[in-house]
Amino acid sequence: LARLLKSYGYSVGVMKPAETGCVMRDGVLYPEDAWRLREAADCAEPTEKVCPYRFPEPLAPSIAAERSGVRIDLDHLLTVCEEIKGAHDITLIEGAGGLMVPLLPSYTFADFARVAKLPVIVVAANQLGAINHLLLSLEHASCKGLTLLGYVLNRLSNEDSLAADTNREVLAGLTGVACLGELPFQEPGYALADLFEAEIDFRTIELWIGKK
């Protein structure tokens, strides 16, 4: 999505408030997800702003922070978020693990999205179990008063799966939230912007951009 927006001429900011499971490189924790976001968007913001908090253990950010002896400062995250948003046409903010994952104790990524006034696109693994997982996420987002742009079904395997083949049709009868499309499984290195443009209904996203 970041690459596609960039190709359409938008100035794209990116942010991942906290990343866990980071490895050490040259003596510092390296946030791979945040780096990929920066590269895809061609975003000049420093890593310290794109990903303010980085932790080595692959845990929910609140737990990873506690175990590292770090206090995540919500005001700092919101300030950085507003700075990046103010410097770009559109900013994409990636969560970590899902809407209900705690960023701070008793404060989830859904809470962050609500306070920062961020519309949400939910991405679900298109496999057995996706229906329950996705519907719970959409319901929680609605309960939090979040603006839902839609959801994307993302296929994680090239193996045959009857669940993956039928999930979209079943979900259409269970929720009024729009399915923006399905992403088929692709090997690493595929031109993801081209895939996104071909498979995803981009009009909903463009309409939201036009309302900003």
Q: Count the Cβ atoms, other than its own, within 10 Å of residue 69.
A: 6
Type and span of the H or E element at 212: none
Kindly name the residue from 16, 49, 144, 212 that is annotated as catalytic.
16
Q: Give the distance from CA 54 to its chain's centroid.
A: 16
Maximum pairwise Cα distance, the chain:
51
User: Active-site residue 16, yes or no?
Assistant: yes
In the chain, DSSP assigns E strands to: 12-15, 18-19, 23-25, 28-30, 53-54, 90-93, 102-104, 107-108, 120-125, 148-154, 179-183
Residue-wise burial string across 118-134, b where 16 or more C-beta atoms lie within 10 A, e elsewhere: bbbbbbbbbbeebbeeb
Phi, psi of 111 (to 5 degrees): -65, -40
Catalytic residues: 16
